[in-house]
Amino acid sequence: MTGVAQRLEGMRVCIVAGSGGVGKTTASAALALGLAASGQRVAVVTIDPARRLAQSLGLQELGNDPRQVDPALLASHGVRMRGELWAMMLDPKATFDDLIARLSPDERTREDVLGNRIYQQLSGAVAGSQEFTAVAKLYDLHRDGGFDMLVLDTPPSRNALDFLDAPDRLTDFFEGRAIKVLLVPTGIAARVMSRGTAVVFSILKRLTGVDLMDDIAVFFGSLGGLMDGFKERAAGVKALLADPATTFLIVTSPEREPVAEAIFFRGKLREAGMAFGGLIVNRVNVAGDDEPEAIAAELRAAGLGARLAEKVAASAADLRLLAARDAASIERLKAELDEPDPIVVARLDGAVQDIDGLLALRDALM
Amino acid sequence: MTGKGGVGKTTIAAALGLVAARAGKRTIVAEVARRGDVASAFDRAGAEPFEEIELAPGLFHISIDPQDALEEYLRDQLPRGPIADILARSRVFGLLAAATPGMRELLTVGKLWELAQFERRTPGADAYDLVVVDAPATGHGVAVLTAPRTFAAAAGSGPVARQGKKIDATLSDPEQTAVIAVAKAEELAVTETGELRASLRERMGLGIERVVANALDPDRFDDEEATALQAHAARPAVARALAGHRRALRQRAQLARLADLCEQEPARIALHPGGPLLEQLADELAPQLGLP
């Protein structure tokens, strides 16, 4: 088995994808910790992770800038830190606001956009905006952060596709060519504004009772000033996703639904022509070779009561079923993802929510 | 049905659908913005989006996409078909609908509401006794439930605002709507369930009808037995059994937390090592819900 470190050689950005509940956040943190310990300056970017994990790294709150994890804290757990570990918990809304603020040419534009109903809705809820924010942050850190490696723990998006589509989708929306034509009330645009689109507006207003005209006019009007900056940013984000030094790791558990999601996502990566850096199969059950009956007999011989010996045998039988299921999942993943050598991490004893847990996971990964 | 991602919500929704169908209720399991997971749980390939297909006797399935819901809604609301078609396909209209706060959620929940009507608006469609909604994960699940209310408040007037109020009346009526939360006995999933309960109460005035704790490891050993096993911990089989026991203990503690946070005993669904069979899950679930 090739460890994660070798697979990531020469990479500068690692995006960790997978469905919710498979240990993506802890895998990202463990990976970053391992790379940092071996001498790199690493930042791990995560969105609303397990609070206890964050706290165990000394991070108390959401923020828009990475903070260094105290080397003394890590040293107290026996980590010889040769590089630096930085971590941040991304607040998508604040990051988006921050982006708008920086791209705004003046105070007034900034206030107009940030206070706009359409913007508030868009930045908080439109599919892809959280994903976009995450990659936009990554882009900033990549350009200005001076890190050797960035690890992005992707948002808990049901549809991993949102992640790859986000820059295009948001550029489309922000450009809103069709809408912009409608909104310029004077000049040629007013004359070419088709009757059809006017009908669209009036029907929407009649149906919804919401008159979005004002909001939309203000939104796109103010946005005009920062459109170029935004487009440039989106193009940069897209280029970063396709950069040869950017790679995607897929994390899954051996359960049915996450496996299906991993296969689906691998297909999407292939279609988008993006790099696949490897597969991590997490929380894999490992059973012994002994038959449950043999175990029961052995334990009875060792003086354990028959009832208790049977219970241990039953637990071994369950574990064998789980291990067989997991082995089948791994074979399926190997074939479907075209990945002969996945990184298999055995189910650890206990939930990973502190530094010791992360270290155990790091050892398994690397 | 809602719950944190990865807790097996879809499988439990399908099992609940089966329980209801067995009890003689004409039931539909509705997936929201999914790719046919419920259908695949029944080993059926995903049907056409928006098609109501029968998976088992009395048990139907539909996958709801906001775009389809928009098209259907417009066809229903506007007198002439072709105009509705043009509108639904219009890029501008799509963008406006997407930009209108809460519109996507409203369209989704509007279709759910339509499914639950005894007099269906869909031509030729029969009524259902029960609609099981495989809702999005916790946070977004609440957003879907509250969409009609939010929308009605924001819009003030117009047909959609009126419809929003009507839909909200159904959703916030405990006689008609029940929320079931699925969780695993893990810290984060339990915490999220507690947050869900608070948020439902605050924003919808609804409680959680039933909490389902899914995929529980077998809890085999009592304290005395665990102590007896410690003496043999050097044997790999015993060490593995003890690791399983520690897991069961952690789950016990989380189950207690879950019961505490939700002020009710959770229904318990065992982990099925070979992968759960829906019939098996339905058998486990039914008596805990007081159903045959």
Q: Please, which pLDDT band fits residue A83 given cuts at 50, 70 and 90?
A: very high
Tell me whether residue B108 is in a domain: yes
Cβ-Cβ contacts under 8 Å for A37 (sequence gap 6 or more): A74, A79, A80, A81, A82, A83, A85, A362
Tell me whether residue A219 is in a domain: no
Asked if B240 and A349 touch (Cβ cutoff 8 Å), the reply is no
Tell me whether residue A146 is in a domain: yes
Q: What's the structural domain count of chain A? A: 1
Q: How far is A285 from chain B (nearest CA, A)?
A: 10
- Best of B35, B73, B100 to disrupt the A interface by mutation (most A CBs within 10 Å)? B100
Mean pLDDT of the A46-50 span: 66
The dihedral over CA atoms of B83, B88, B91, B93, expressed in degrees to the nearest 10, equals 80
Cβ-Cβ contacts under 8 Å for B120 (sequence gap 6 or more): B114, B126, B127
User: What integer pLDDT is reported at residue A121 of this predicted model?
Assistant: 61
- A-B CB pairs within 8 A amount to 165
Is the per-residue pLDDT at A158 higher than 70? no
Tell me whether residue B237 is in a domain: no
Of A178, A315, A349, the CB nearest to B220: A315
Chain-wide mean pLDDT for chain A? 81
Provide the 10 A C-beta neighbour count for residue B145: 25
What is the spatial distance between Cα B244 and Cα B258, in angstroms, rounded to a whole number?
21
Tell me whether residue A58 is in a domain: yes
User: What residues of A are in contact with residue B10 (Cβ under 8 Å)?
Assistant: 257
Written as six digits, the tokens of B126 are: 């029969």
Can you list the alpha helix ranges (DSSP code H) found in B100-235? 103-115, 138-155, 159-171, 187-204, 223-230
Q: Please, which pLDDT band fits residue A224 given cuts at 50, 70 and 90?
A: low
What is the spatial distance between Cα B98 and Cα A126, in angstroms, rounded to a whole number?
8
Tell me whether residue A253 is in a domain: yes
- Cβ distance A305 to B228 less than 8 Å, yes or no, reads yes
- Report the share of chain A in percent with pLDDT over 90: 41
Residue, of A72 and B122, whose pLDDT is higher = A72
Top-ranked range on mean pLDDT: pick from A261-265, A299-303, B84-88: A299-303
Tell me whether residue B126 is in a domain: yes
Which of A68-77, A195-204, A252-261, B177-186 has the weakest average pLDDT?
A: A195-204
- Best of A171, A315, A329, A354 to disrupt the B interface by mutation (most B CBs within 10 Å)? A315
Using the structure block, give the residue that is written with the tokens 């723990």: A153
What is the spatial distance between Cα A267 and Cα A270, in angstroms, rounded to a whole number?
5
Q: A267-287 in b/e burial notation, b at 16+ Cβ within 10 A?
A: ebbeeeebbbbbbbbbbbbeb
Tell me whether residue B69 is in a domain: yes
Mean pLDDT of the A173-178 span: 55
| Regions of chain B short of the pLDDT cut 50 | 36
Can you list the alpha helix ranges (DSSP code H) found in B23-137? 37-41, 66-77, 81-89, 91-99, 103-115
- Cβ distance B5 to A258 less than 8 Å, yes or no, reads no
For A100-149, write each residue's pLDDT tens digit. Answer: 888 888 888 888 888 876 676 656 544 456 677 777 788 889 998 899 99
Quote the domain boundaries for residue A145: 4-163+234-287+340-365
Using the structure block, give the residue that is written with the tokens 């691998």: A266
User: What integer pLDDT is reported at residue B182 of this predicted model?
Assistant: 96
Cβ-Cβ contacts under 8 Å for A107 (sequence gap 6 or more): none
How many Cα atoms are found within 13 Å in the side-chain-facing hemisphere of A319?
A: 29
Q: How far is B247 from chain A (nearest CA, A)?
A: 7
Strands B179-184, B2-3: pairing is parallel
Tell me whether residue A327 is in a domain: no
User: What residues of A are in contact with residue B187 (Cβ under 8 Å)?
Assistant: 50, 52, 351, 353
Strands A84-90, A67-68: pairing is antiparallel
Cα separation values, A102 from A15, A106, A167, B252, Å = 25, 9, 18, 50
| Residue B54, domain CATH | 3.40.50.300
Provide the 10 A C-beta neighbour count for residue A77: 12
Tell me whether residue A214 is in a domain: no
Q: Please, which pLDDT band fits residue A322 given cuts at 50, 70 and 90?
A: very high
Question: Phi first, then psi: what are they for A155, rounded to 5°?
Answer: -60, 155
Provide the 10 A C-beta neighbour count for residue B23: 15
For B226-252, write each residue's pLDDT tens digit. Answer: 999 999 999 999 999 999 999 999 999
Q: Is the dihedral of CA A170, A175, A178, A182 positive or negative?
A: positive
- Cβ distance A322 to B186 less than 8 Å, yes or no, reads no
Tell me whether residue B275 is in a domain: yes
How many Cα atoms are found within 13 Å in the side-chain-facing hemisphere of A145?
A: 29
| Residue A249, domain CATH | 3.40.50.300
Written as six digits, the tokens of A353 are: 């929510």
Strands A84-90, A246-252: pairing is unpaired
Q: Please, which pLDDT band fits residue A30 given cuts at 50, 70 and 90?
A: very high
- Cβ distance A353 to B187 less than 8 Å, yes or no, reads yes
Q: What's the structural domain count of chain B? A: 1
User: What integer pLDDT is reported at residue B162 of this predicted model?
Assistant: 83
- Cβ distance A302 to B232 less than 8 Å, yes or no, reads yes
Residue, of A354 and B227, whose pLDDT is higher = B227
Written as six digits, the tokens of B109 are: 């929940």
Q: How far is B204 from chain A (nearest CA, A)?
A: 20
Q: How far is B192 from chain A (nearest CA, A)?
A: 11
Q: How far is B143 from chain A (nearest CA, A)?
A: 10
Q: Please, which pLDDT band fits residue A187 given cuts at 50, 70 and 90?
A: very low
Q: Taking chain A, what is the end-to-end CA distance rounded to the nearest angstrom? A: 10
Using the structure block, give the residue that is written with the tokens 């040769």: A82
Is the per-residue pLDDT at A227 higher than 90? no
Strand order in the sheet with B267-270: B2-3, B179-184, B208-216, B267-270
Asked if A33 and A365 touch (Cβ cutoff 8 Å), the reply is no
Tell me whether residue A69 is in a domain: yes
Strands A246-252, A276-284: pairing is parallel
Written as six digits, the tokens of A13 are: 């950005």
User: What integer pLDDT is reported at residue A78 of this predicted model?
Assistant: 92
Quote the domain boundaries for residue B172: 2-216+252-288
What is the spatial distance between Cα B159 and Cα A163, in angstroms, rounded to a whole number?
35
